[in-house]
Structure 1
Amino acid sequence: MKINYPINDTEEEIKEVEKIYKDYPELPYISPERNLKKWFRDLNLTSETRVPLRNMQRTEEGLLPGDIILIWRISLGTFTNESVMPKYFEYDYGINAHQSLKSLIEHGYVVQESPYESMDHVTATLLKSLLKMKNIKGYSKLNKTGLVEEIKKHYSNKELDEYFNVRGLRLTDSGKKALENNQFVIDKHPTKPGY
């Protein structure tokens, strides 16, 4: 069994987790915050709290289905470096979504956008305050598109980097290809509330 993620629990609990996933190619991620005693108890009542085996089988690209779901979420255009990671990444897909995102960026599937490119994730109020700081006149009646254009005239990417941390994320060609090659993963993703 290939173990990618550490579990911060007792040796006995780790052995129990390994026993539960003994037939899996690798051990799903389990957050150090997870209450393993409660999880073990729930497993005795139902098998729905176990990560499905198919979600721990890597794609041709070497990605896990959870990575593909994360790529898909990013492709929708609303995901940022500050987005809350839904619990289903851990409980249904067995990945640490924050670590996965870093890896997807490092391996060229996802790019973090520049401050200019990320302004659609910033409030109009912040954009107006940035223009006010530079004593720019006539911005109060501008819509967000107009505010963004004014900001670009008066601020460099480097300057903007000091004023907000949120960054948009977008797929590279490799990310788009991985998504295209693994549509079956998206098709199996639940569409119930909370997903």
Structure 2
Amino acid sequence: MNTNHIDKQNQHLDLNDKDVQEVFARYEDYAEVPYISPDRDIQTWLSAVNIGSAHLVPKRNMIRLDEDILPGYLILLWRINFGTFTNESGFPKYFEYDYGINAEQALEEVQQKGYAIELSATDSLTYLNAAQLKAILKLSGVKGYSILDKSGLMEKTKEQLTEEQLASQFTIRGYQLTEAGKELLTKYPEVIDRHPKKKY
């Protein structure tokens, strides 16, 4: 049984389960078995693979890079680099089914490795709309903002409220690549080039 790097993503699996064993058999010649979510209906997925309506994760996506991360992590960094990814963004199924990674875990790891950071409340104001910004200002007792557009509201908020005050007002936070994260994307352009593109 292919248990290479099982501790990285799949330590939650019961290796004595026959369905799990069948999944591992499918990936026997891979560098490691792709992430299998606890929520996945393994029997249904195996049936779909057998009739050809589902596919295996490409073998190349399960080969770790020099940095001990999988190619799917680069797709997450690429996604973050658009500036629209937040702690409220969902993770598309392709992270698990095409790249074989636990995207939620990957998000934690890229921060731990210094490739991305979570923005402060102040730097995350851009993810709020004008009505939300006005509500924060009103609640904080700030005056003179009624005719301001979103840009002006953001500036007013930054001028009048501290990071500590803002942090308790809303929970959404954006993410940003560090220089190391940007360099990593530049190092492996072929991974990004193969990924289907759409605007974010």
Q: Which band: TM-score by shorter chain?
A: over 0.9
Q: Does 1:107 align with 2:113?
A: yes
Q: Does 1:179 align with 2:185?
A: yes
Cα RMSD after superposing both structures: 1.8
Query: Is the 2:133–2:154 Cα contact (8 Å) retained in structure 1?
Result: yes
Secondary structure at 1:26 match in 2: coil
Q: How many angstroms apart in 1 are the aligned matches of 2:58 and 2:152?
A: 48
1:79 to 77, 85, 103: 85
Aligned to 1:70: 76
Q: How many angstroms apart in 2 are the aligned matches of 1:102 and 1:2?
A: 18
Aligned to 1:45: 51
Q: How many angstroms apart in 1 are the aligned matches of 2:176 and 2:109?
A: 14
Aligned to 2:19: 13
Number of corresponding residues: 194
Ranges in structure 2 where 5+ consecutive residues have no aligned partner: none
Q: How many angstroms apart in 2 are the aligned matches of 1:110 and 1:192?
A: 22
Please give the residue correspondences for 1:128-139 in structure 2 after superposition, counting only pairs within 5 Å. Answer: 128-139=134-145
* CA deviation after TM superposition for structure 1 residue 137, in Å: 2.2
2:149 to 137, 140, 143: 143
TM-score, L = length of structure 2:
0.91
Q: How many angstroms apart in 1 are the aligned matches of 2:77 and 2:132?
A: 29
* CA deviation after TM superposition for structure 1 residue 184, in Å: 0.2
Aligned to 1:32: 38
TM-score, L = length of structure 1:
0.93
Q: How many angstroms apart in 2 are the aligned matches of 1:48 and 1:112?
A: 35
Percent of matched pairs sharing the same residue: 45
Query: Is the 2:45–2:54 Cα contact (8 Å) retained in structure 1?
Result: no
* CA deviation after TM superposition for structure 1 residue 65, in Å: 0.8
* CA deviation after TM superposition for structure 1 residue 86, in Å: 0.5
Q: How many angstroms apart in 2 are the aligned matches of 1:64 and 1:127?
A: 39
Q: Using a 3 Å threshold, how does the CA distance of structure 1 residues 187 and 48 change in structure 2: closer, same or farther?
A: farther
Query: Is the 2:87–2:172 Cα contact (8 Å) retained in structure 1?
Result: yes
Q: Does 1:2 align with 2:5?
A: yes
* CA deviation after TM superposition for structure 1 residue 64, in Å: 0.7
